[in-house]
Amino acid sequence: MTTLFEPLTLRSLTLPNRVWMAPMCQYSSPASGEDAGVATDWHHTHYATRAVGGSGLVLTEATAVSAEGRISPYDLGLWNGRQTEALRRVTRAIAEHGAVPGVQLAHAGRKASTGRPWDGGGPLRQDEGGWPVVGPSPVPFAEGHLLPAELSTGRMGEIAQEFADAARRALEAGFRVAEVHGAHGYLLAQFLSPVSNRRTDAYGGDHAGRTRFPLEVVDAVRAVWPDELPLFFRISATEWLAEGGWTPDDTVRFAADLLAHGVDLLDVSTGGNVPGVAIPSDPGYQVPFAARVRAETDMPVAAVGLITEPGQAAKILAAGEADAVLLGRQLLRDPYWPLRAARELGHTGEVLPLQYRRAA
């Protein structure tokens, strides 16, 4: 039996296998009005299909903890009861089809207020439906992007509370895993990196200063997230800079900090905070960063990034490089990839839904 289809228990929650769906923005919620940020039929079908397809954990796209924290006006949100109620239908469908529903809680910071990718993806002015953006320092993401207002410590406390409030709503909506988004150049990643964090107060400067606010957010979420349920953190392990920036060494050190603050698994990605850097595109190019965290700390990890073939995924786990794999675009191309992987790898357990077993 391949370990891809062995259960994994974190705290009191057992995930049925180790093939998981990575968070991927759908930009498919209404952009304004009382339904802004609300899950639609698209979200229900999209996520339920991956559960039917055999993914053991289905993580939602980056789900904004506030309207200000959306990447685009069309992002999913969890800042009010209407959004909570709409997501109950989504989590129920995921669970009914054998997967665990997970939510990624996010604030985009200086990368907020942008258009959808198929509309160009550029920054939006207020007359285009955009809004002012914030960050650790008044440093825009790239030329032509909005200048963020530097967050006061008071506003940072409010944002930490927004993460906690969104986590409470996520629990009410039926989610069983919560992930704090600290990767890809969004707000918490902006605090971690000296490229975007130029603060001279207690929230900038050295490693302890730059990690202080992300850890405060983790503490706020862990305080309201049940002890029996796991909390994940997604990180960009490197910014792919020749010098400076957030490094793999920083990631290993921070993983130990996160573990001490109640995080149960590190979701290891890379990049996103510095535009124009050269990023490899080899299969599994991000796996070594996850493997290093797993080897040098006690933190369980999930690996992601151009994991496309069943044998490749199985070897990652067999080699002890990760505890689970997260598939992104591969699951957009093939929602039933886990079922195909089980067949190709000779897994003899019951993976196919009951309704499909006559096709085995």
Catalytic residue among 27, 74, 186, 203: 186
How far is C-alpha 307 from the geometric centre of its chain's CA atoms?
A: 17
Q: What is the Cα–Cα distance from 57 to 102, expressed in whole angstroms?
A: 7
Q: What is the Cα–Cα distance from 175 to 94, expressed in whole angstroms?
A: 10
Helix (H, G, I), strand (E, B) or coil at 60: strand
Give the β-pairing of 324-327 and 177-182.
unpaired
203: annotated active-site residue? no
The label of the residue with tokens 């650790």 reads: 136
Q: How many CA atoms lie within 13 A of 191 on its CB side?
A: 28
Which tokens sit at 318? 């067999």
Nearest Cα to 266, choosing from 179, 175, 160? 179
Sequence-ordered list of residues with C-beta below 8 angstroms from that of 143, at least 6 positions apart, any chain: none
CA angle 295, 301, 305 (to 5 degrees): 105
Say if residues 230 and 15 touch (Cβ distance below 8 Å): no
Nearest Cα to 58, choosing from 19, 85, 108? 19
Residues annotated as catalytic (active site), given as ranges = 186
